[in-house]
Amino acid sequence: MLLDFYELNDSLWNPRRRYSTHWRYPEKMTLAVAMILFLGIILMILNVYQLQQMKAEHSKHIQTAVVVEGGTGQQAKRAPTVWIHGENLGSGYLRHVFEVFSRLGYVHGDSQTTWDVLWSHDYPFTSMAKHLSNLKSHQKVNHFPGSGYITNKVSLATSQSQSIPMAFRIPKDKDKFLKHIKDNPGKMWVQKNNNHRGIKILTVKELDLESEGSFLQEYVSKPLLIDGRKFDIGIYTILTSVDPLRIYIVKGDILVRFCSQDYHPFDAQIVDKYVVGDDYTPMWKYFEHFDLITGKNATKAWSQIYDTIQTIYLEKERLLLSAADKYKTTRNFFEMVRFDFVLDEDINVFLMETHSVAVKWDYSNDPFHLDKYTEKNRMIFIWFIGKCREDIAWCS
């Protein structure tokens, strides 16, 4: 091997040739390094130029100047426009949505204006299809095509997740249900539909096993209580992309709602003991007990919450992609969804429902009225739109 090496490197046998190569090598190396540095500088300049172009294009549509509604001239032209859509807007149920966008410098438009954000209370892809068929790159819509696969109660309850209590579609799964209750006679059941009305624990004889559009779900019979009350935890998420799949979870801002009556002595006929209704007890009434969220079992609970949200979106990913296929791109859409969880005595987490955050509020039931309740909504909106302003790629 040593001989072969020297045969291939004859300069080592010839001192004159070896020295000559030694002196030429630094010159070639210096030239190569200079060329690499030059090309690197050119690429860096091109990248900076492209980034500036993207920011300039984005700035044409998202302005930071605060402009009052009804502005004129150059002031009005600089202001981004939001189209807030919903039935009976005069009742004020979306008042805080109007207020937040006004604070962010948006003027309010409609279908006849060149809008930047469409904020629709209802799913818009059927009734408003003509307005969404040819969206411009700067326009954002607060719903995702196919998001019903996430927020539809029947679709969600029958998902394949260990954190969702067992459920049966009715009447499709009637025979499976009857077999299951025969093997598990001690379980309690509630009957639900997409209207979220009339939820109540029923005996097997009271269950409707024939009507379409409902499902039966196992009741979490040993819920964790705080001060004797059952509660649920709402976690806010934002879906910004389905290709690739991208979901953000809002940390540090959760919704905790308590039932309006003590859980014990338990009575299935008193729904307010175990169902969080419209007249739920607000979280500030029990704020001093929230050490639960940061206590020794918090890591277990939060880990289950994150895993459940991830599992649901991964399971529905194919359906979301299929629903969005008719649009040129999905970069125009985002969806804010609240996931409602309950915990049992062993800090096991169960996903009960999801809700598209559109967002409405009945001010008559709010003892703190608009200013204190809507602070959370303001924070979420400002956080989301602020992220888009900072980095166009975040919401694309």
Domain-located, residue 85: no
- Nearest to 283, CA basis, from 259, 266, 304, 307: 259
- Nearest to 199, CA basis, from 158, 164, 153: 153
DSSP code at position 208: -
Domain-located, residue 12: yes
H/E element holding 234? strand 229-242
**The whole model's pTM is what?**
0.72
Domain-located, residue 73: no
Instruction: Count structural domains, the chain.
Output: 2
Domain-located, residue 298: no
Domain-located, residue 173: yes
State the residue range of the domain holding 208: 166-219
Domain-located, residue 25: yes
Q: How far apart are CA 388 and CA 142, in angstroms?
A: 13
Domain-located, residue 13: yes
Q: How far is CA 113 from the centre of its chain?
A: 28
Q: How far is CA 353 from the centre of its chain?
A: 14
CA angle 173, 178, 181 (to 5 degrees): 120
Domain-located, residue 38: yes
pLDDT in tens, the chain (396 residues): 333 333 333 333 344 444 444 445 566 677 777 788 888 788 788 766 766 665 555 455 444 443 434 444 444 456 899 999 999 998 888 988 998 899 889 999 999 999 999 999 999 998 899 999 899 999 999 999 999 999 988 889 888 788 999 999 999 999 999 999 999 998 999 998 866 566 899 988 899 999 888 899 999 999 998 888 999 999 999 999 999 999 999 876 788 888 999 999 999 999 999 998 776 665 544 444 445 544 546 778 889 999 999 999 999 999 999 999 999 999 999 999 999 999 998 889 999 999 998 765 544 444 434 344 444 455 555 555 555 555 545 454
Q: How far is CA 159 from the centre of its chain?
A: 18
Q: How far apart are CA 132 and CA 122, in angstroms?
A: 14
